[in-house]
Amino acid sequence: MTDARLPVVIVGSGLAAWTVARELRKLDKTRELRIVTRNAGHYYSKPMLSNALAAGKSAAQLVNTPAAQMAQQTAVRLHAHTTALSIDRDRRVVHTSDGAIEYGQLVLATGAEPLRVALDGDAAGDVLSVNDLDDYALFRERLAHAAPVVILGAGLIGCEFANDLAQAGHAVEIVDPGPQVLGRLVPEPAAALLQRSLERIGVRFHLKKSALSVERDRGQLRLRLSDDRRLNASLVLSAIGLRPRTDLARNAGLDTDRGIRVDASLRTSDQQIFALGDGAEYEGVVLPYVMPIMHAARTIAAQLVGSNVHVRFPPMPVVVKTPVAPVVAVPPPATLEPRWQHTTSESGIESRCLSADGRLLGFALVGDAIARKSGLLAALGESR
């Protein structure tokens, strides 16, 4: 049974956590609401982290609303700089670094952790990832012009940082073991156009190569690649992917696999505990983007006030913020054998993925072709 006299406790203070708080307040002004977060709790747009350098923004300038103001606006009791350590599901208590907190319902919005590249060498610990404001502050502090910035990973985040760094005047090299950029997102001709566009602003690619080691060398870093090539770097940025944070949920006995497993009501295997955001797994898939969070937060807020609504994700385009050649993609379901059709123009490409009977299953647009996004999304909505 749900006890509405006890608070809703949300763990995390990223986009997922604050969006649940905002959506709940639209429906219920009085329920006690607490947020437990191990960072300061400021509200910021994480997607800006890979687009902020050329715009000259510091970490402080990326804060949209300071934590105290957010807490006041949403009538939240904020436990900042507090880590949730374990969940006692029988007693409905979260044990934190600052004591125990009882909950009526709990929302896990704990996000994901950057994957680490296994590297040899005395500077392996100096490799940075940028996944929150503090990481971004450190990244800016360590940036130097003496040698290129080497990015590990040519996916969405690696390409966005490459564009931003190059636009800010830095030499950039990208290393990726795969044969193309945006490997999981777009077909080869679309990837090739983005790669050429980044090369035009000075980015150099080392595809089908892995980084093996990184050493300190006279004030710089020196990488060794799998083809034995050496690269000098002022900084090494890892952008090889994220791993949902599932430890808290798993240790509490909740079902976890790729992420914290939830059903269409966004409930975990415990009916009083919900999950969303980068840490959640919806019907076998992790959706580490902003749009799913918006849909999921509305569903959780409705569930918290007693409406039995289920989440339905519409086709959600992934936008790659590479101003030199912007990309919008809706990849086809991974279970299907893709059949792509490409239409190229001077400064863009439209790639459509079609089924054997000609139905649209997904698409990728690069450069000028992104203007056709709305039409293709509508067509996709009808055909899926």
Ligand X SMILES: Cc1cc2nc3c(=O)[nH]c(=O)nc-3n(C[C@H](O)[C@H](O)[C@H](O)COP(=O)(O)OP(=O)(O)OC[C@H]3O[C@@H](n4cnc5c(N)ncnc54)[C@H](O)[C@@H]3O)c2cc1C
How buried is 334 (Cβ within 10 angstroms: 0-12 exposed, 13-18 middle, 19+ buried)?
exposed
User: For residues 105-134, which are near ligand X according to CB under 6 A?
Assistant: 109-111, 130-131
Least separation in angstroms between CB 62 and ligand X: 11
Contact 223, 216 (CB under 8 A): no
- Give, for 383, the enclosing helix (H) or strand (E): helix 373-383
Per CB under 6 A, 14 contacts ligand X: yes
By beta-carbon proximity to ligand X, the closer residue of 245 and 298 is 245
Residues in contact with ligand X, counted by CB under 6 A, come to a total of 33
Q: Which of residues 33-92 bind ligand X (CB under 6 A)?
A: 36-39, 46-47, 49-50, 83-84
What is the rounded distance in angstroms from the CA atom of residue 85 to the CA atom of residue 81? 13
**Residue range at the interface with ligand X (CB under 6 A); choices 137-145, 175-183, 228-236, 289-297:** 289-297
Binding segment for ligand X (CB under 6 A), chosen from 15-23, 98-106, 220-228, 358-366, is: 15-23
Nearest-5° angle of CA 181, CA 285, CA 292? 85
Q: Is residue 274 packed enough to be buried (19+ CB in 10 Å), middle (13-18) or exposed (0-12)?
A: buried
| Smaller CB separation from ligand X, 224 or 252 | 252
Report which residue type is found at 168.
A
Compare residues 266 and 340 and give the one whose CB is closer to ligand X: 266
Residue 254 within binding range of ligand X, rule CB under 6 A: no
Site residues for ligand X, window 129-188 (CB under 6 A)? Answer: 130-131, 157
In angstroms, the CA 105 to CA 102 distance is 9
- C-alpha to C-alpha distance for 275 and 248, rounded to whole angstroms: 12
Could you tell me which stretch among 5-13, 24-32, 59-67, 174-182 binds ligand X (CB under 6 A)? 5-13
Considering only residues 210 to 239 of the shown chain, the ones binding ligand X according to CB under 6 A are none
Q: Judged by CB under 6 A, which of 7, 8, 13, 87 binds ligand X?
A: 13
What does the block give as tokens for 47? 């997607």
Among 70, 162, 248, 349, binds ligand X (CB under 6 A): 248
Q: Of 323-362, which residues contact ligand X (CB under 6 A)?
A: none
Instruction: Kindly write down the DSSP assignment for every residue of 110-178, as one continuous string.
Output: --EEEPPP--BSTTGGG-B---SHHHHHHHHHH--SSSPEEEE--SHHHHHHHHHHHHTT--EEEEESS
Nearer to ligand X, 121 or 370 (CB): 370
- The CA distance from 353 to 374, in Å, is 16
- In the shown chain, the binding pattern of residues 300 to 319 toward ligand X, with x for contact by CB under 6 A and - for none, equals -------------------x
Spatial contact of 142 and 128, defined as CB atoms under 8 Å apart: yes
CB nearer to ligand X: pick between 47 and 177: 47
Three-state DSSP class for 216? strand
- Candidates 75, 115, 290, 379; binder of ligand X (CB under 6 A) is 290
Query: Where along the sequence are the contacts to ligand X (CB under 6 A)?
Result: 11-17, 36-39, 46-47, 49-50, 83-84, 109-111, 130-131, 157, 245, 248, 277-278, 288-291, 319, 321
